[in-house]
Chains A and B, each alone.
Chain A
Amino acid sequence: MNAYLEIYITGLSRYLLGIYLVIFVIFGIITLFRDDDYYNNVVLYSGQNVCMFLFHFTAFLSMCFHTGDMKLMGFYVASQLLMIGIIVVARILYPYTDKLFTNNMCMLMSIGFVILTRLNYNKALKEFFIITISMMLSMGVPFIIRRFKHLHTFKWIYASIGIAILGTVLIAGTVTYGANISYSLGGITFQPSEIVKIVFVFFVAAGFVRARGIGEVLVTASIALVHILILVLSRDLGSALIFGVVYVIMVYVATGNFAYVAISGVVGVVGAAFAYKLFTHVQVRIMAWRDPWSTIDNTGYQITQSLFALSSGSTWGVGLMKGNPLKIPFVEDDFVFSAIVEEMGFVTGIALLGICLISFVRALIMAAGLRSMFYRLLAVGLASAYIFQVFLTVGGGVKFIPLTGVTLPFVSYGGSSALASILLFEVLAGVSLIAGDERDYYEKIDEKDSEDTEESE
């Protein structure tokens, strides 16, 4: 009887998991086209919660039956309670924040818990604590964003903090796989550049508050270059790339001038050429990307194992616990997406990308509606940093671009990655509060204006 159940549950779950996620994404897409008032979309958001919980339950049930390990069910209950907690606390503390961010964040966390449990139970457990602590730490962020009206005046403080941290890391950093970028505490890695990324976005946004002329561009550009150079010297090329791209998008949105994008493009290409000439590890990665098969036993091993995982997974995946994702070195950090596709299929993988894109697009829609340039830039910058990181890690894993070794936000294992991603989404939630405030404010002004005109007539 038990054997029958196991076969049917594990056999059917691979379809169910993908289908839940696809429904989740469809609901998310619909909300993009509607007014982002919570009560307007309450059915869709609740529907998303149902999909999310079903996904979580089905995945853990399937893993439980496959391994016969009941402690997984304990972890299921704990992680499920955490997600419910996040959703409920967000509702109580900030009834007017954009719930799409909360839902997407929890859905990604759920996928993360599932795949980490499958790959390495201890790491999943650690990740659980990291996320719980990070959530508690960043709970007040939306409040701070909304209440502190002087955040846009600390331009030089942001720049100093960012450069100081990155500089310290460069000088004192430990060597981790060719890049002096991270610290490890009790098995939890901490990569300061992930946090500095957020501070950097604050800096650039603050740099364009007053004016958006060539002077401001030059000042922010030189500070941005300092950040990027330190990162390049630390051999953290993935982060350097993210900082660069985020800066370019922010300048473009601040000035509305495409010429800056073109100039940056040229600078970027020249910079990349120099990096290629100067660093052997860049050359190795480019070679491994162009033809991983000729170095399959060596530098191409990681990427080819990832490609094997993707192709075994195919449309619906081979089923949880039925693949061999642990063959990919560092699968929990850099290749978690390949592990997801191997066991849950392209349907799940592409739905996951959909969730990331929906968060990004929602942040842009929010930014476009904001009248305050600081918050607009903040939203655009953070959203770009987030989506570009997703692009780098997934693109690297599927051989679309060379490997850069960055994590998949909310899904990969990693201390700073989780904290930074949560902070980033909490700031976005805070900006969504500002957006609500602005709307109320301008509605009032409009009312007043119309009253004025009536009076003058």
Chain B
Amino acid sequence: MKKTRKTQKNQNKELALKAEKHMKQSKLAIIVSGVSVCILFVCMSIYMVKYSAAHEIEMFDNSYNSYAIRLSREYLRGTIYSGDGEVLAYSEGEEAASQHRVYPYGNMFAHAIGYSTHGRMGVESAANYYLLNYHSGLNNIAHATAESELVTADSVYTTLDTSLQQVAFDSLGVYKGAVIITEVETGRILAMVSKPDFDPNNIDTLWEEFMNDSASTNLLNRVTQGQYPPGSTFKIITTLEYLRENDHSYSGYHFNCGGSFTYDGDTIRCYHGTVHGSIDFATSFAKSCNSSFANMGVSFDRKSFQKTLDGLMFEEELPYDLPSAVSHTAVNEDTDTHNIMQASIGQGQDSISPLHMNMITCAIANKGVLMKPHLLDRVESESGSVVTTFKPEEAGRLMTEEESAQLTELMTEVVKRGTATRLQDDRYTAAGKTGSAEFSSTVKDDSHAWFTGFAPAEDPKIAVTIIIEGAGSGGEYAVPIAKRMFDQYFTVNPVTVDAEE
């Protein structure tokens, strides 16, 4: 009797132990489920916040998003200032809903500042988010309401300089073309002019006119979206490729120019048939000898050439916040001799935008590193506090420091004794490359005048890129304009003695 009681007790104990073990497993299951759900919720919250933050401006500018419209009916659109504090655009009106935009400089900043009705363009597009939001605090709103005044949204300060823009605008005159001036160490765009232009004050009436006239290109920003044959400015790139294929030395190069170069039945002629005679590399570059560069081109390794062009952002989106044209090149593994010769002198199927040419120039001037070109400097609230500052951003290294030094040396020679001698000045040493890009196969004499360069060569501050459509040679037409820009800049910002040493 006693024994059975004991065995039953043991059995009971066993069962209890088993039950307890099961309870423990069950508890563990509860903990695992609970922790997994908590982790899931944390991930979801992080995703939600991160997605919104990462796409905030992009979503704000989406035309399906009505929030921007709501803001535009509550505040006056913010004011746009130049880097030197001039008002470039402001809004006025009795009520926020019926406000209209005024551009005091009219055509001068047309493409750079753009417009904000009928879609958006330029700074009006890039800074739309900032120009609609408001950060001045409740006191300001209360004060404005009490005075029954309208509240103005945040102001945007651009990097543009009115004096440089004025010179660029005036210099281009009645020609079609484009000018861009950039600070090489920061990527700040100081001037951006495209012609033919328009008066953004009249965009409403002009819009219909332009839309009805398919041939009109007034709204096109030629700086960013113009696609031009690069002409001899491309020789900068051909030179880079030559350096890369020849152990970074050009001292051994020699060419005898008879005014043309023939290879495999194809002939390349020098500009206006000029005979350059017996020349070394620096002279080929300074005098922009087509024959000599075509001669280099045929020796190139296609794959390596293509790699160099890829590294210089051909066939890809440029690091720029507004729409820009993709530059094209005919060079690839299978390019035939004819096209390689054409490409080496920047003719044929190659195309480039002035912005892209300016970027490459900036990289040369900035020890090989490209700073992302930008138009926005900072956002300020109506009460004057800084909301956002746009810091210079590195867009990548386009070439080694050694390569940039060699190119600078060659480009300095162009000013000293080559096609850009008109740029010589006591106050600064400029470096650059001219180009006369033939764009028509029928009219031989017509060419776009190019210049791209920077100054001072010893300690580069700004890079200037100019194209004048159908003007003639770069040396004759583009260089004098570049000179006026450099003169203006260095009159206001004289080269310090330090830099000259």
Contacts and interface: CB of A to CB of B under 8 A. Distances in A.
Interface of A: 3-4, 7-8, 11-12, 212, 249, 252-258, 296-297, 301, 304-305, 307-308, 310-314, 318, 322-324, 327, 341, 346, 349-350, 353, 357, 360-361, 364, 367-368, 371, 373, 376, 380, 384, 387-388, 391, 394-395, 398-400
A252 B29 contact: yes
Given A12-B138, A311-B52, A391-B41, A296 B33 contact: no
Contact of A311 (B22, B55, B70): B55
Residues of B contacting A: mostly? helix
Contacts of B51: 307, 310, 398-399
21 contacts: A3-B145, A252-B29, A253-B29, A253-B30, A258-B29, A297-B64, A305-B64, A307-B51, A307-B52, A308-B62, A311-B56, A324-B67, A346-B49, A353-B44, A357-B37, A368-B31, A371-B23, A384-B37, A391-B41, A395-B44, A400-B48
A406 to B, nearest CB: 15
Contacts of B17: none
A256 B33 contact: no
Contact of A4 (B56, B67, B142): B142
B44 A367 contact: no
Nearest to B54: A311
A307 B44 contact: no
B491 interface: no
B34 interface: yes
B45 interface: yes
B48 A253 contact: no
A367 B145 contact: no
B106 to A, nearest CB: 34
Contacts of A255: 25-26, 29
B37 A360 contact: yes
A255 B25 CA distance: 8
Contacts of B493: none
Given A253-B33, A310-B51, A311-B59, 20 more contacts: A252-B29, A255-B26, A256-B24, A257-B25, A296-B62, A307-B52, A311-B52, A313-B52, A323-B70, A346-B48, A349-B48, A357-B41, A360-B34, A368-B30, A373-B26, A388-B37, A391-B41, A391-B44, A398-B44, A398-B51
Interface residues of B, number: 40
Nearest to B33: A249
B34 A398 contact: no
Contacts of B27: 368
A309 to B, nearest CB: 8
B443 interface: no
B146 interface: yes
Of the listed residues A256, A297, A324, A384, the one surrounded by the most CB atoms of chain B closer than 10 A to its CB is A256
B37 A376 contact: no
B60 interface: yes
A360 B35 CA distance: 11
A373 B19 CA distance: 11
B28 interface: yes
Given A364-B33, A380-B33, A357 B22 contact: no
Contacts of A398: 44, 47-48, 51
Interface string B63-103: 01111001000000000000000000000000000000000
Q: Looking at B27, B29, B38, B145, which has the most chain A CB atoms within 10 Å of its CB? A: B29
Given A310-B52, A361-B38, A391-B40, A367 B66 contact: no
A133 B22 CA distance: 42
For the complex of A and B, the 8 pairs showing the least CB-CB separation, nearest first, are A256-B25, A398-B48, A311-B52, A11-B138, A312-B67, A308-B65, A253-B29, A364-B34
Contacts of B30: 253, 364, 367-368, 380
Contacts of B56: 311, 314
A360 B26 CA distance: 17
B298 interface: no
B387 interface: no
Given A7-B138, A360-B34, A360-B37, A400 B44 contact: yes
B395 interface: no
Contact of B44 (A3, A253, A346, A394): A394
A437 to B, nearest CB: 18
B67 A256 contact: no
B141 interface: yes
Given A308-B59, A398-B47, A256 B26 contact: yes
A360 B64 CA distance: 37
Contacts of B25: 255-257
B138 A311 contact: no
Contacts of B49: 346, 350
A253 B22 CA distance: 10
Nearest to B137: A11
B52 to A, nearest CB: 4
B34 A7 contact: no
Nearest to A371: B23
A12 B33 CA distance: 39
Contacts of A314: 52, 56
Contacts of B70: 322-324
A400 B42 CA distance: 12
B24 to A, nearest CB: 8
B143 to A, nearest CB: 9
Contacts of B142: 3-4, 7-8
Nearest to B49: A346
A305 B59 CA distance: 10
Contacts of B34: 360-361, 364
Nearest to A249: B33
Contacts of A253: 26, 29-30, 33
B439 to A, nearest CB: 37
Nearest to B69: A324
A36 to B, nearest CB: 16
Contact of A252 (B23, B33, B65): B33
A310 B41 contact: no
B351 to A, nearest CB: 29
Interface string B139-167: 00110011000000000000000000000
A149 to B, nearest CB: 20
A442 B276 CA distance: 108
A376 B51 CA distance: 38
Interface in B333-347: none
A94 B67 CA distance: 47
A384 B33 contact: yes
A445 to B, nearest CB: 13
Contact of A400 (B37, B47, B62, B141): B47
A313 B40 CA distance: 23
Nearest to A5: B142
A327 to B, nearest CB: 5
Contacts of B22: 212, 256
A327 B37 contact: no
A103 B456 CA distance: 72
Nearest to B51: A399
Contacts of A258: 29, 32
Contacts of A373: 26
A253 B25 CA distance: 8
A305 B65 CA distance: 7
Contacts of B67: 308, 312, 318, 323-324
A318 B37 CA distance: 30
B146 A4 contact: yes
Contacts of B24: 256
B59 A307 contact: yes
Nearest to B27: A368
Contacts of B37: 357, 360, 384, 387-388, 391
B141 A11 contact: yes
B44 A4 contact: no
A360 to B, nearest CB: 6
Contacts of A349: 48
Contacts of A399: 47, 51
A129 B337 CA distance: 84
B26 A376 contact: yes
Nearest to A6: B145
